[in-house]
A and B are shown apart, each in its own frame.
Chain A
Amino acid sequence: MIELRNIAKSFGDKEVLRNISATFEPGKTSLVIGTSGSGKTVLMKCMVGLFEVDSGGVFYNNENFSKMNINERKAIRKEIGMLFQGNALFDSMTVEENVIFPLNMFTDMSEKEKKDRVNFCLERVNLKGANKLYPSEISGGMMKRVGIARAIVQNPKYLFCDEPNSGLDPQTSIVIDKLIQEITQEYNITTFVNTHDMNSVMQIGDYILYMFEGEKHWEGTSKDLMTAKNERLENFIFSSEFLKEARKHYVK
Protein backbone atom coordinates (compact mmCIF):
# COMPACT_ATOMS: atom_id res chain seq x y z
CA MET A 1 0.00 0.00 0.00
CA ILE A 2 1.23 3.45 -0.84
CA GLU A 3 -0.06 6.51 0.88
CA LEU A 4 0.48 10.14 0.05
CA ARG A 5 0.09 12.50 2.95
CA ASN A 6 -0.21 16.17 2.06
CA ILE A 7 2.63 16.23 -0.38
CA ALA A 8 3.69 19.42 -2.08
CA LYS A 9 6.36 20.14 -4.62
CA SER A 10 7.53 23.31 -6.32
CA PHE A 11 10.26 24.12 -8.78
CA GLY A 12 11.58 27.53 -7.88
CA ASP A 13 8.47 29.58 -7.27
CA LYS A 14 6.33 27.38 -9.48
CA GLU A 15 4.05 25.19 -7.41
CA VAL A 16 3.56 21.96 -9.29
CA LEU A 17 1.91 19.80 -6.62
CA ARG A 18 -0.27 21.15 -3.84
CA ASN A 19 -1.36 19.27 -0.78
CA ILE A 20 -2.11 15.90 -2.34
CA SER A 21 -3.26 13.00 -0.18
CA ALA A 22 -4.35 9.66 -1.52
CA THR A 23 -4.15 5.95 -0.82
CA PHE A 24 -3.24 3.32 -3.39
CA GLU A 25 -4.13 -0.21 -2.47
CA PRO A 26 -2.53 -3.49 -3.49
CA GLY A 27 -4.32 -5.53 -6.11
CA LYS A 28 -5.92 -2.40 -7.51
CA THR A 29 -5.04 -0.35 -10.54
CA SER A 30 -5.00 3.29 -9.56
CA LEU A 31 -5.13 5.80 -12.35
CA VAL A 32 -4.08 9.40 -12.26
CA ILE A 33 -5.68 11.46 -14.97
CA GLY A 34 -5.41 15.11 -15.78
CA THR A 35 -4.55 17.52 -18.54
CA SER A 36 -1.08 17.77 -19.92
CA GLY A 37 1.08 19.70 -17.47
CA SER A 38 -1.13 19.05 -14.46
CA GLY A 39 1.74 17.37 -12.61
CA LYS A 40 1.14 13.65 -13.14
CA THR A 41 4.72 12.82 -14.02
CA VAL A 42 6.06 14.98 -11.21
CA LEU A 43 3.73 13.17 -8.78
CA MET A 44 5.00 9.80 -9.94
CA LYS A 45 8.60 10.87 -9.68
CA CYS A 46 8.00 12.19 -6.18
CA MET A 47 6.55 8.85 -5.21
CA VAL A 48 9.67 6.95 -6.26
CA GLY A 49 12.07 9.55 -4.94
CA LEU A 50 13.44 10.96 -8.19
CA PHE A 51 12.16 14.29 -6.94
CA GLU A 52 12.19 15.10 -3.25
CA VAL A 53 8.88 16.36 -1.88
CA ASP A 54 8.97 19.78 -0.24
CA SER A 55 6.53 18.83 2.49
CA GLY A 56 4.37 15.89 3.45
CA GLY A 57 5.40 12.30 2.95
CA VAL A 58 5.11 9.24 0.76
CA PHE A 59 4.43 6.15 2.85
CA TYR A 60 5.11 2.61 1.72
CA ASN A 61 3.29 0.30 4.14
CA ASN A 62 3.29 3.09 6.71
CA GLU A 63 7.03 3.69 6.41
CA ASN A 64 7.94 7.22 5.42
CA PHE A 65 9.88 6.82 2.17
CA SER A 66 10.65 10.53 2.04
CA LYS A 67 12.64 10.28 5.27
CA MET A 68 14.52 7.08 4.46
CA ASN A 69 18.24 6.93 3.87
CA ILE A 70 19.71 5.70 0.64
CA ASN A 71 19.96 2.04 1.64
CA GLU A 72 16.43 1.83 2.96
CA ARG A 73 15.25 3.44 -0.25
CA LYS A 74 17.17 0.94 -2.31
CA ALA A 75 15.45 -1.92 -0.54
CA ILE A 76 12.07 -0.47 -1.51
CA ARG A 77 13.21 0.33 -5.02
CA LYS A 78 14.09 -3.28 -5.67
CA GLU A 79 10.37 -3.93 -5.39
CA ILE A 80 9.44 -1.13 -7.76
CA GLY A 81 8.97 -1.49 -11.49
CA MET A 82 8.65 1.71 -13.45
CA LEU A 83 7.82 2.67 -16.99
CA PHE A 84 8.95 6.17 -17.89
CA GLN A 85 6.99 8.48 -20.12
CA GLY A 86 9.98 8.59 -22.48
CA ASN A 87 10.66 4.85 -22.01
CA ALA A 88 14.25 5.38 -20.80
CA LEU A 89 15.47 2.21 -22.48
CA PHE A 90 19.22 1.65 -22.38
CA ASP A 91 20.08 2.51 -25.94
CA SER A 92 23.39 0.68 -25.97
CA MET A 93 21.62 -2.60 -25.20
CA THR A 94 19.32 -4.82 -27.22
CA VAL A 95 15.71 -5.37 -26.24
CA GLU A 96 16.63 -8.61 -24.54
CA GLU A 97 19.57 -7.07 -22.67
CA ASN A 98 17.33 -4.25 -21.51
CA VAL A 99 14.80 -6.61 -20.03
CA ILE A 100 17.36 -9.01 -18.59
CA PHE A 101 19.37 -6.21 -16.97
CA PRO A 102 17.58 -6.11 -13.59
CA LEU A 103 17.78 -9.90 -13.38
CA ASN A 104 21.51 -9.84 -14.08
CA MET A 105 22.06 -7.14 -11.56
CA PHE A 106 19.96 -8.36 -8.67
CA THR A 107 19.25 -12.05 -8.95
CA ASP A 108 21.23 -15.27 -8.94
CA MET A 109 19.05 -16.99 -11.51
CA SER A 110 20.72 -19.27 -14.04
CA GLU A 111 21.13 -18.08 -17.63
CA LYS A 112 18.31 -20.34 -18.72
CA GLU A 113 15.91 -19.13 -16.05
CA LYS A 114 16.68 -15.53 -16.95
CA LYS A 115 16.16 -16.16 -20.68
CA ASP A 116 12.89 -17.89 -19.99
CA ARG A 117 11.69 -15.09 -17.79
CA VAL A 118 12.63 -12.47 -20.39
CA ASN A 119 10.91 -14.36 -23.17
CA PHE A 120 7.85 -14.81 -21.00
CA CYS A 121 7.67 -11.07 -20.32
CA LEU A 122 8.27 -10.13 -23.94
CA GLU A 123 5.54 -12.52 -24.98
CA ARG A 124 3.12 -10.94 -22.56
CA VAL A 125 3.63 -7.56 -24.19
CA ASN A 126 3.29 -9.08 -27.66
CA LEU A 127 6.92 -8.67 -28.55
CA LYS A 128 8.05 -12.14 -29.47
CA GLY A 129 11.08 -12.22 -31.73
CA ALA A 130 12.31 -8.69 -31.16
CA ASN A 131 14.99 -9.86 -28.70
CA LYS A 132 18.03 -8.94 -30.74
CA LEU A 133 16.93 -5.51 -31.94
CA TYR A 134 18.25 -2.25 -30.53
CA PRO A 135 15.88 0.44 -29.24
CA SER A 136 16.77 2.60 -32.24
CA GLU A 137 15.53 -0.16 -34.53
CA ILE A 138 12.03 -0.55 -33.13
CA SER A 139 8.95 1.65 -33.22
CA GLY A 140 7.81 3.98 -30.46
CA GLY A 141 5.00 1.65 -29.43
CA MET A 142 7.38 -1.29 -29.31
CA MET A 143 9.75 0.70 -27.09
CA LYS A 144 6.89 1.38 -24.74
CA ARG A 145 6.18 -2.32 -24.53
CA VAL A 146 9.84 -3.15 -23.92
CA GLY A 147 9.70 -0.60 -21.11
CA ILE A 148 6.74 -2.41 -19.63
CA ALA A 149 8.44 -5.79 -19.97
CA ARG A 150 11.45 -4.39 -18.17
CA ALA A 151 9.28 -2.94 -15.43
CA ILE A 152 7.55 -6.24 -14.70
CA VAL A 153 10.45 -8.63 -15.20
CA GLN A 154 11.34 -8.76 -11.50
CA ASN A 155 7.76 -9.30 -10.31
CA PRO A 156 7.56 -5.91 -8.64
CA LYS A 157 5.35 -5.23 -5.67
CA TYR A 158 4.77 -1.69 -6.84
CA LEU A 159 4.29 -0.88 -10.49
CA PHE A 160 4.45 2.67 -11.83
CA CYS A 161 3.50 3.33 -15.43
CA ASP A 162 3.71 6.79 -16.95
CA GLU A 163 1.34 6.76 -19.91
CA PRO A 164 1.71 3.09 -20.80
CA ASN A 165 -0.45 3.35 -23.89
CA SER A 166 0.30 6.71 -25.38
CA GLY A 167 1.48 6.06 -28.90
CA LEU A 168 -0.08 2.63 -29.14
CA ASP A 169 -2.90 1.65 -31.47
CA PRO A 170 -6.24 0.97 -29.74
CA GLN A 171 -5.86 -2.77 -30.02
CA THR A 172 -2.37 -3.02 -28.53
CA SER A 173 -3.42 -0.43 -26.03
CA ILE A 174 -6.11 -2.74 -24.75
CA VAL A 175 -3.67 -5.63 -24.62
CA ILE A 176 -1.37 -3.55 -22.44
CA ASP A 177 -4.22 -2.38 -20.22
CA LYS A 178 -5.36 -5.96 -19.76
CA LEU A 179 -1.83 -7.02 -18.97
CA ILE A 180 -1.45 -4.34 -16.33
CA GLN A 181 -4.77 -5.24 -14.79
CA GLU A 182 -4.07 -8.97 -14.86
CA ILE A 183 -0.68 -8.84 -13.21
CA THR A 184 -1.96 -6.35 -10.69
CA GLN A 185 -4.65 -8.77 -9.58
CA GLU A 186 -2.61 -11.92 -10.03
CA TYR A 187 0.39 -10.81 -7.95
CA ASN A 188 -1.44 -8.32 -5.74
CA ILE A 189 0.66 -5.42 -7.01
CA THR A 190 0.05 -1.82 -6.05
CA THR A 191 -0.24 -0.27 -9.47
CA PHE A 192 -0.12 3.41 -10.27
CA VAL A 193 -0.81 4.52 -13.84
CA ASN A 194 -0.75 7.98 -15.39
CA THR A 195 -2.94 8.16 -18.40
CA HIS A 196 -4.86 10.27 -20.88
CA ASP A 197 -6.53 7.28 -22.41
CA MET A 198 -10.28 7.16 -21.74
CA ASN A 199 -10.46 3.51 -22.75
CA SER A 200 -8.07 2.66 -19.95
CA VAL A 201 -9.95 4.82 -17.53
CA MET A 202 -13.14 2.92 -18.15
CA GLN A 203 -11.56 -0.51 -18.50
CA ILE A 204 -9.05 -0.85 -15.72
CA GLY A 205 -9.55 2.06 -13.33
CA ASP A 206 -10.26 0.63 -9.89
CA TYR A 207 -9.45 3.98 -8.37
CA ILE A 208 -9.19 7.23 -10.26
CA LEU A 209 -7.56 10.43 -9.16
CA TYR A 210 -8.19 13.49 -11.23
CA MET A 211 -5.54 16.16 -11.02
CA PHE A 212 -6.08 19.75 -11.96
CA GLU A 213 -3.24 22.24 -11.81
CA GLY A 214 -1.36 20.26 -9.24
CA GLU A 215 -4.28 19.57 -6.95
CA LYS A 216 -6.41 16.55 -6.34
CA HIS A 217 -9.69 17.61 -7.82
CA TRP A 218 -11.73 14.43 -7.71
CA GLU A 219 -11.33 10.79 -6.76
CA GLY A 220 -13.51 7.75 -7.17
CA THR A 221 -14.12 4.63 -9.23
CA SER A 222 -14.83 4.43 -12.94
CA LYS A 223 -18.51 3.87 -12.10
CA ASP A 224 -18.62 7.08 -10.11
CA LEU A 225 -17.03 8.80 -13.04
CA MET A 226 -20.05 8.19 -15.25
CA THR A 227 -22.29 10.01 -12.87
CA ALA A 228 -19.83 12.45 -11.39
CA LYS A 229 -21.08 15.98 -11.00
CA ASN A 230 -17.92 17.92 -11.49
CA GLU A 231 -17.77 20.30 -14.36
CA ARG A 232 -14.01 20.28 -14.94
CA LEU A 233 -13.85 16.52 -14.75
CA GLU A 234 -16.78 16.13 -17.10
CA ASN A 235 -15.21 18.45 -19.62
CA PHE A 236 -11.96 16.56 -19.38
CA ILE A 237 -13.35 13.03 -19.64
CA PHE A 238 -16.27 13.58 -21.96
CA SER A 239 -14.46 15.98 -24.19
CA SER A 240 -15.99 14.89 -27.49
CA GLU A 241 -19.63 15.07 -28.53
CA PHE A 242 -19.53 11.36 -29.13
CA LEU A 243 -18.56 10.60 -25.55
CA LYS A 244 -21.13 13.03 -24.22
CA GLU A 245 -23.82 11.15 -26.13
CA ALA A 246 -22.49 7.80 -24.98
CA ARG A 247 -22.64 8.97 -21.41
CA LYS A 248 -26.21 10.11 -21.71
CA HIS A 249 -27.19 6.64 -22.89
CA TYR A 250 -25.20 5.00 -20.12
CA VAL A 251 -26.81 7.11 -17.43
CA LYS A 252 -30.26 6.36 -18.80
Chain B
Amino acid sequence: MAYFYALTVFETGNYMNLFYHFGKYILLLKSLFVKPEKVSIYWRETIRQMNEIGIGSLGIVAIISVFIGAVTTVQTAYQLISPLIARSVIGTIVSDSTILELAPTITCLVLAGKIGSSVASELGSMRITEQIDALEIMGVNTPSYLIGPKIIAAVLIIPCLIIIAAFLGIYGGVLAGSLTGILTPEEFSIGARDSFRTLNLILCMVKAVTFAFIITSVSAYQGYFTDGGSLEVGQSSTRAVVFSCILILFADYLLAELLL
Protein backbone atom coordinates (compact mmCIF):
# COMPACT_ATOMS: atom_id res chain seq x y z
CA MET B 1 0.00 0.00 0.00
CA ALA B 2 2.59 2.50 1.13
CA TYR B 3 4.91 1.16 -1.49
CA PHE B 4 2.37 1.89 -4.15
CA TYR B 5 1.89 5.28 -2.62
CA ALA B 6 5.61 5.91 -3.02
CA LEU B 7 5.45 4.64 -6.59
CA THR B 8 2.51 6.83 -7.48
CA VAL B 9 4.29 9.84 -6.07
CA PHE B 10 7.28 9.12 -8.24
CA GLU B 11 5.45 7.96 -11.32
CA THR B 12 2.44 10.18 -11.66
CA GLY B 13 4.51 13.20 -10.82
CA ASN B 14 2.41 14.17 -7.84
CA TYR B 15 5.26 16.46 -6.93
CA MET B 16 3.24 19.04 -5.04
CA ASN B 17 2.56 16.37 -2.47
CA LEU B 18 6.24 15.59 -2.37
CA PHE B 19 7.12 19.23 -1.80
CA TYR B 20 4.50 19.51 0.90
CA HIS B 21 5.99 16.60 2.80
CA PHE B 22 9.51 17.83 2.25
CA GLY B 23 8.63 21.22 3.68
CA LYS B 24 6.91 19.70 6.68
CA TYR B 25 9.90 17.42 7.21
CA ILE B 26 12.30 20.36 7.18
CA LEU B 27 10.10 22.24 9.65
CA LEU B 28 10.08 19.22 11.93
CA LEU B 29 13.87 19.06 11.78
CA LYS B 30 14.05 22.76 12.53
CA SER B 31 11.93 22.33 15.63
CA LEU B 32 14.52 19.92 17.01
CA PHE B 33 16.89 22.77 17.59
CA VAL B 34 15.71 24.17 20.87
CA LYS B 35 17.26 24.18 24.27
CA PRO B 36 16.40 20.89 26.01
CA GLU B 37 14.21 21.26 29.09
CA LYS B 38 16.58 19.10 31.07
CA VAL B 39 19.86 17.98 29.53
CA SER B 40 20.22 14.99 31.85
CA ILE B 41 16.91 13.48 30.72
CA TYR B 42 17.74 13.94 27.06
CA TRP B 43 21.14 12.39 27.64
CA ARG B 44 19.68 9.39 29.44
CA GLU B 45 17.22 8.91 26.61
CA THR B 46 20.05 9.10 24.04
CA ILE B 47 22.03 6.41 25.88
CA ARG B 48 18.94 4.22 26.03
CA GLN B 49 18.39 4.62 22.31
CA MET B 50 22.05 3.89 21.56
CA ASN B 51 21.72 0.69 23.48
CA GLU B 52 18.53 -0.24 21.70
CA ILE B 53 19.77 0.60 18.21
CA GLY B 54 23.38 -0.53 18.69
CA ILE B 55 23.26 -3.65 20.83
CA GLY B 56 19.84 -4.54 19.50
CA SER B 57 21.05 -4.63 15.90
CA LEU B 58 24.42 -6.25 16.48
CA GLY B 59 23.22 -9.80 15.84
CA ILE B 60 21.52 -9.16 12.53
CA VAL B 61 24.35 -6.92 11.31
CA ALA B 62 26.90 -9.63 12.12
CA ILE B 63 25.05 -12.38 10.34
CA ILE B 64 24.40 -10.30 7.24
CA SER B 65 27.92 -8.99 6.86
CA VAL B 66 29.66 -12.35 7.25
CA PHE B 67 27.43 -13.88 4.61
CA ILE B 68 27.67 -11.00 2.20
CA GLY B 69 31.47 -11.04 2.45
CA ALA B 70 31.52 -14.76 1.85
CA VAL B 71 29.15 -14.61 -1.09
CA THR B 72 31.04 -11.75 -2.69
CA THR B 73 34.27 -13.74 -2.49
CA VAL B 74 32.80 -16.84 -4.04
CA GLN B 75 31.06 -14.95 -6.81
CA THR B 76 34.02 -12.74 -7.62
CA ALA B 77 36.18 -15.85 -7.90
CA TYR B 78 33.61 -17.35 -10.23
CA GLN B 79 33.73 -14.32 -12.51
CA LEU B 80 37.51 -13.93 -12.44
CA ILE B 81 38.46 -17.36 -13.58
CA SER B 82 41.56 -16.55 -15.60
CA PRO B 83 45.17 -17.55 -15.10
CA LEU B 84 46.25 -14.04 -16.07
CA ILE B 85 44.78 -12.41 -13.01
CA ALA B 86 46.41 -12.85 -9.63
CA ARG B 87 44.12 -14.41 -7.07
CA SER B 88 44.89 -11.63 -4.64
CA VAL B 89 42.73 -9.39 -6.83
CA ILE B 90 39.76 -11.16 -5.32
CA GLY B 91 40.87 -9.85 -1.93
CA THR B 92 41.11 -6.36 -3.38
CA ILE B 93 37.65 -6.47 -4.89
CA VAL B 94 35.98 -7.98 -1.85
CA SER B 95 37.55 -5.65 0.69
CA ASP B 96 37.02 -2.55 -1.42
CA SER B 97 33.43 -3.26 -2.24
CA THR B 98 32.71 -4.24 1.35
CA ILE B 99 34.11 -1.02 2.74
CA LEU B 100 32.73 1.20 0.04
CA GLU B 101 29.33 -0.19 -0.60
CA LEU B 102 28.27 -3.44 0.97
CA ALA B 103 28.92 -2.68 4.62
CA PRO B 104 27.38 0.78 4.75
CA THR B 105 24.59 0.44 2.22
CA ILE B 106 23.33 -3.08 2.67
CA THR B 107 23.59 -2.84 6.44
CA CYS B 108 21.70 0.43 6.48
CA LEU B 109 19.01 -0.92 4.19
CA VAL B 110 18.50 -3.70 6.69
CA LEU B 111 18.62 -1.28 9.59
CA ALA B 112 16.06 0.87 7.80
CA GLY B 113 13.72 -2.09 8.08
CA LYS B 114 14.53 -2.77 11.67
CA ILE B 115 14.99 0.66 13.22
CA GLY B 116 12.80 2.59 10.80
CA SER B 117 9.73 0.51 11.43
CA SER B 118 10.22 0.50 15.17
CA VAL B 119 10.76 4.26 15.39
CA ALA B 120 7.74 4.98 13.19
CA SER B 121 5.43 2.61 15.00
CA GLU B 122 6.57 3.76 18.43
CA LEU B 123 5.92 7.41 17.60
CA GLY B 124 2.77 6.55 15.66
CA SER B 125 1.19 4.71 18.54
CA MET B 126 2.23 7.44 20.94
CA ARG B 127 0.46 9.87 18.64
CA ILE B 128 -2.80 7.97 18.35
CA THR B 129 -3.01 7.22 22.08
CA GLU B 130 -2.50 10.96 22.77
CA GLN B 131 0.77 10.41 24.61
CA ILE B 132 2.40 13.05 22.43
CA ASP B 133 -0.44 15.45 23.25
CA ALA B 134 0.07 14.71 26.94
CA LEU B 135 3.74 15.63 26.64
CA GLU B 136 2.82 18.72 24.69
CA ILE B 137 0.43 19.84 27.45
CA MET B 138 3.13 19.42 30.06
CA GLY B 139 5.15 21.94 28.07
CA VAL B 140 7.67 19.49 26.64
CA ASN B 141 9.04 20.25 23.19
CA THR B 142 7.92 16.92 21.77
CA PRO B 143 9.98 16.82 18.55
CA SER B 144 13.22 17.47 20.33
CA TYR B 145 12.44 15.13 23.22
CA LEU B 146 11.07 12.26 21.16
CA ILE B 147 13.10 12.53 17.96
CA GLY B 148 16.34 14.31 18.91
CA PRO B 149 17.80 11.53 21.06
CA LYS B 150 16.95 8.93 18.43
CA ILE B 151 18.76 10.82 15.68
CA ILE B 152 21.79 11.54 17.83
CA ALA B 153 21.96 7.95 19.04
CA ALA B 154 21.72 6.57 15.51
CA VAL B 155 24.27 8.98 14.09
CA LEU B 156 26.72 7.98 16.81
CA ILE B 157 26.13 4.26 16.95
CA ILE B 158 25.38 3.24 13.35
CA PRO B 159 28.90 4.17 12.14
CA CYS B 160 30.22 1.82 14.84
CA LEU B 161 27.93 -0.91 13.56
CA ILE B 162 29.16 -0.26 10.04
CA ILE B 163 32.80 -0.62 11.11
CA ILE B 164 31.94 -3.93 12.71
CA ALA B 165 30.03 -4.90 9.57
CA ALA B 166 33.02 -4.07 7.37
CA PHE B 167 35.35 -6.14 9.53
CA LEU B 168 33.02 -9.07 9.63
CA GLY B 169 32.31 -8.79 5.91
CA ILE B 170 35.99 -8.99 5.06
CA TYR B 171 36.43 -11.73 7.59
CA GLY B 172 33.58 -13.63 5.96
CA GLY B 173 35.35 -13.21 2.64
CA VAL B 174 38.62 -14.52 4.02
CA LEU B 175 36.83 -17.43 5.62
CA ALA B 176 34.92 -18.40 2.48
CA GLY B 177 38.09 -18.05 0.44
CA SER B 178 40.11 -20.40 2.57
CA LEU B 179 37.30 -22.87 3.25
CA THR B 180 36.58 -23.35 -0.44
CA GLY B 181 40.26 -23.17 -1.39
CA ILE B 182 39.79 -20.19 -3.69
CA LEU B 183 42.54 -18.16 -2.08
CA THR B 184 44.56 -18.27 1.13
CA PRO B 185 44.14 -15.65 3.84
CA GLU B 186 47.65 -14.39 2.96
CA GLU B 187 46.71 -13.81 -0.66
CA PHE B 188 43.53 -12.13 0.46
CA SER B 189 45.34 -9.76 2.77
CA ILE B 190 47.93 -8.88 0.15
CA GLY B 191 45.13 -7.92 -2.21
CA ALA B 192 43.22 -6.04 0.46
CA ARG B 193 46.21 -4.02 1.64
CA ASP B 194 47.30 -3.32 -1.88
CA SER B 195 44.33 -1.19 -2.69
CA PHE B 196 43.53 0.21 0.71
CA ARG B 197 42.95 3.94 0.70
CA THR B 198 41.88 6.18 3.56
CA LEU B 199 39.39 7.87 1.27
CA ASN B 200 37.42 4.62 1.10
CA LEU B 201 37.13 4.54 4.84
CA ILE B 202 36.12 8.18 4.98
CA LEU B 203 33.45 7.64 2.38
CA CYS B 204 32.24 4.63 4.33
CA MET B 205 31.84 6.73 7.46
CA VAL B 206 30.23 9.62 5.63
CA LYS B 207 27.72 7.17 4.20
CA ALA B 208 27.08 5.64 7.60
CA VAL B 209 26.34 8.98 9.21
CA THR B 210 24.15 10.13 6.33
CA PHE B 211 22.15 6.92 6.23
CA ALA B 212 21.73 6.90 9.99
CA PHE B 213 20.31 10.39 9.80
CA ILE B 214 18.00 9.45 6.93
CA ILE B 215 16.65 6.35 8.65
CA THR B 216 15.82 8.00 11.95
CA SER B 217 14.60 11.35 10.69
CA VAL B 218 12.43 9.98 7.90
CA SER B 219 10.91 7.32 10.12
CA ALA B 220 10.37 9.78 12.92
CA TYR B 221 8.63 12.11 10.49
CA GLN B 222 6.31 9.32 9.36
CA GLY B 223 5.55 8.24 12.91
CA TYR B 224 5.21 11.69 14.43
CA PHE B 225 2.57 12.79 11.95
CA THR B 226 0.50 9.62 12.07
CA ASP B 227 -3.19 10.41 12.02
CA GLY B 228 -5.91 7.90 12.72
CA GLY B 229 -5.73 4.45 14.29
CA SER B 230 -3.70 1.27 14.35
CA LEU B 231 -4.11 0.79 10.61
CA GLU B 232 -2.41 4.12 9.99
CA VAL B 233 0.37 3.23 12.42
CA GLY B 234 1.08 0.19 10.28
CA GLN B 235 1.03 2.31 7.14
CA SER B 236 3.36 4.89 8.64
CA SER B 237 5.78 2.22 9.55
CA THR B 238 5.75 0.69 6.06
CA ARG B 239 6.14 4.13 4.53
CA ALA B 240 9.03 4.83 6.88
CA VAL B 241 10.88 1.78 5.60
CA VAL B 242 10.10 2.37 1.92
CA PHE B 243 11.07 6.05 1.95
CA SER B 244 14.18 5.43 4.04
CA CYS B 245 15.37 2.78 1.61
CA ILE B 246 14.72 4.91 -1.45
CA LEU B 247 16.45 7.91 0.09
CA ILE B 248 19.41 5.79 1.24
CA LEU B 249 19.99 4.56 -2.30
CA PHE B 250 19.59 8.05 -3.66
CA ALA B 251 22.07 9.47 -1.15
CA ASP B 252 24.40 6.57 -1.82
CA TYR B 253 24.62 7.54 -5.44
CA LEU B 254 25.04 11.23 -4.69
CA LEU B 255 27.83 10.62 -2.19
CA ALA B 256 29.71 8.31 -4.52
CA GLU B 257 29.42 10.87 -7.26
CA LEU B 258 30.54 13.72 -5.03
CA LEU B 259 33.37 12.11 -3.13
CA LEU B 260 35.00 9.66 -5.51
Contact = CB atoms under 8 A, between A and B. Distances in A.
Interface of A: 45, 48, 50, 74-75, 77-78, 80, 82, 84, 86, 88-91, 101-102, 104-106
Contact of B139 (A50, A104, A106): A106
A84 B41 CA distance: 24
B194 interface: no
Contacts of A77: 136-139
A106 B138 contact: yes
Contact of A105 (B38, B133, B137): B38
25 contacts: A48-B137, A50-B133, A50-B136, A50-B137, A74-B139, A74-B141, A75-B139, A77-B136, A77-B137, A77-B139, A82-B137, A84-B130, A84-B133, A84-B134, A86-B129, A86-B130, A88-B131, A89-B131, A89-B134, A91-B129, A91-B131, A105-B38, A105-B138, A105-B140, A106-B138
Contacts of B141: 74
B186 interface: no
Given A86-B129, A88-B130, A91-B129, A106 B38 contact: yes
A105 B129 contact: no
B51 to A, nearest CB: 14
Contacts of A50: 133, 136-137
A19 to B, nearest CB: 25
Interface string B6-47: 000000000000000000000000000000011001000000
Contacts of B140: 105
A104 B138 contact: no
A154 B139 CA distance: 12
Contacts of B131: 88-91
Nearest to A90: B131
Nearest to B133: A50
Contacts of A104: 38, 41
A92 to B, nearest CB: 8
Given A86-B130, A91-B131, A80 B41 contact: no
B37 A105 contact: yes
Nearest to A50: B133
A88 B134 contact: yes
Interface string B29-72: 00000000110010000000000000000000000000000000
